[in-house]
Structure 1
Amino acid sequence: MSLLRLGSRTITPARPAVMAVINRTPDSFYSGARTLDDNLAQDAVQMAIDEGADIIDIGGVRAGYGDAISAAEEILRVAGFVEWVRDSYPDVLISIDTWRSEVADAAASGGANLINDTWAGHDPLLIEVAAAHRIGIVCSHTGHLPPRTDPHRMRYGRSTRGVLDDVLVTLKESASRAIRAGIDPASILVDPTHDFGKNTRHGLLLLKHTEEIVALGYPVLMALSRKDFVGETLGLDKPEQRLEGSLAATAVAAWQGALVFRSHDVLATRQVLDMVASIKGDRQPSRSVRGLA
């Protein structure tokens, strides 16, 4: 099992990490995550930390289709807020969700510990930013799609496991590039990146074979929360309906060794991860008095 090292913190299987979603946008696909307003965003951070978040993931642009947002506007949305989180919560880990190196640089200068590159190195300078600031990076897989595009009839060969093989090769190569750039291997996360460049059956296959992604030897990030593959699997059109499916997917991935979980629902995810870790023997129960009194 790989460990994750960010700043002075180490994430271990005894306490897999919850990465709380803080979207500095007015148009996130999930209405509960729209926190462009400073007061809403600050309250969301406080709640996430109170509920057990280990990492605060701050993004300034909706992942999918939407209004064009310049790099300058993205920086205005996130850089100052990263500084506020760092000043207000010195011990919390901060992630910046961006595909742009200039945004990542501004956030890293303000105290971010991790670059969450959900668009698979579209900007090759992101790795250099992470190396220069001596922070971590997420290596993702999008089937070579450019930022903010939805998948359409994505194909990964004729094999039933074609998408899995493509994910494994891509993540291994991306992580190797990050190491060559000087990033600590223990600060590199790999993410199969559900829904990005994938259909629902692709997402289910990747989840089923999480242990093969874990076997690459890097900490695995799973971003499953309320996504379309959950909704389509269960016939639920609205993201607001997808909590239970997201938690089931979380438990499956955690059992197979994924270490970090990006979530809109911190408390529920924290409890799922703690329960799975205890069943596996990686975490002791909070108390064990039943039948002893």
Structure 2
Amino acid sequence: MIDAPLTRVEEARLVPAGGPARLALSRLPRAGEIADAAAAARGVSAWVDGRLVVTAVPSRLIDAAGRVGGRELADLVAGSVEPAVEAWLGTAPDLPLPGRAVLPTATRPVVMGIVNVTPDSFADGGAHYAPDDHPGAALRHGRALLEAGADVLDVGGESTRPGADPIDVDEELRRVIPVVEALAEEGAVVSIDTTKARVAREAVAAGAAIVNDVSAGGVDDELVPTVAELGVAYVLMHRRGTPRTMQDQAEYTDVVGEVFDFLADRLDHIQAAGVGRELVVVDPGIGFAKTAEHNLVLLRRLREFTSLGRPVLIGTSRKAFLGRVTGATSTDDRVVASVTSAALAVRSGARIVRVHDVAETVQALAVAHAIATAGDEA
């Protein structure tokens, strides 16, 4: 069986008027022959890090594939190219939360507030985790974020900052389950930030509706099958290595292409494992095995990730690369930079932003969304 090609749309604004798109294709059978056939139909192609980048009217590219390999190859290319272009041109779908209302990612950006139940998170470690008052501090913080306008609360009990040490599953459960249970009982949409299947299972039993996995299933082989069994929404994020090692693996020839292909491959993998594609959010993993320059390039070209047809989540809040850009060494001094990056990410296609500073972000996104949609109903 031939793997379907992966299509990343770099530009497609002219397609509705019959114009060309610029497409980057990986895993394309007979790619050189298709490139030659597309060139004969007034297409332009180049090889970039092993990917075929073609500027052509999509229908002509599909016809070129047909001339090379017949209907079977034409259908294979069409099945990759057409949905990618449609997704890039359109808007992300809503995110269903089984047993609950959907997250309205199709109509507006969604804010995910961070509830760190850890002593060592990079931005607010210990501020909302008091072992002698557990889960009181975390619950007060979660309620404040809801009052400020958060749509989702992301509860995490293990720090994923660069260099962080792992904790055992029992300690993670002790930290997060009382918080998840109490906030869910109060009506909050709760996400559990974990890489462990047992934590995901118990958090969903306690009321969590989303599993936010920074490892893409790479830490615990049982996590993806568990998510499939539970039928909850799942955030699929790009990362290399572990928090201890990831910054030593921040080497890319083409960071956008490599991160995109990873997410596309893992999206196919988890769908084959039984996780409904309609339940998946994709996250390029800002700050995870990336340099500051990698992060900025990913943000600048974020719209390309909408080719996957899933809501895109971005987490830039208070991260170190913002400090390198602005000179703000304290995480508390990166609020303006964080809000700015969130608004720009939404303008570039992000539908969910994961943030510490909810009130400020809600205001900024309301303005960004109003500007982006002004005149749409005229």
TM-score relative to the length of structure 1 = 0.89
Structure with greater Cα Rg: 2
Measured at CA, do residues 282 and 167 of structure 1 come closer, stay the same or move farther in structure 2, by a change above 3 Å?
farther
Conservation of the 8 A alpha-carbon contact between 1:6 and 1:93: no
In structure 1, the gaps of 5 or more residues are 285-293
TM-score relative to the length of structure 2 = 0.70
One-letter code aligned to 1:63: T
In 1, Cα distance between equivalents of 2:341 and 2:166: 32
Conservation of the 8 A alpha-carbon contact between 2:149 and 2:359: yes
Once the two structures are TM-superposed, the CA of residue 147 in structure 1 deviates from its matched residue by 4.2
Conservation of the 8 A alpha-carbon contact between 1:118 and 1:140: yes
In 2, Cα distance between equivalents of 1:237 and 1:149: 23
Conservation of the 8 A alpha-carbon contact between 2:249 and 2:289: no
Conservation of the 8 A alpha-carbon contact between 2:164 and 2:243: no
Conservation of the 8 A alpha-carbon contact between 2:113 and 2:153: yes
Q: Following superposition of structure 1 onto structure 2, how do residues 1-293 of structure 1 map, counting pairs within 5 Å?
A: 1-3=91-93, 4-7=95-98, 8-10=100-102, 11-31=104-124, 34-37=127-130, 38-64=135-161, 65-89=163-187, 92-122=188-218, 123-142=220-239, 144-152=240-248, 154-157=250-253, 162-281=254-373
Conservation of the 8 A alpha-carbon contact between 1:19 and 1:55: yes
In 1, Cα distance between equivalents of 2:201 and 2:243: 18
One-letter code aligned to 1:39: G
Question: More relative contact order in 1 or in 2 (CA 8 Å, sep 6+)?
Answer: 1
CA-based RMSD of the aligned residues comes to 1.8
- Give deviations 1:180-213, integer Å, cap 9, x for gaps: 2222222101001111010000000000001001
In 2, Cα distance between equivalents of 1:56 and 1:16: 15
In structure 2, the gaps of 5 or more residues are 1-90
Conservation of the 8 A alpha-carbon contact between 1:13 and 1:282: no
Count of aligned pairs between the two proteins:
277
One-letter code aligned to 2:358: V
Conservation of the 8 A alpha-carbon contact between 2:112 and 2:150: yes
In 2, Cα distance between equivalents of 1:202 and 1:52: 30
Structure 1 counterpart SS, 2:265: helix
One-letter code aligned to 1:126: L
Moved over 6 A (4+): none
Percent identical among aligned pairs is 33
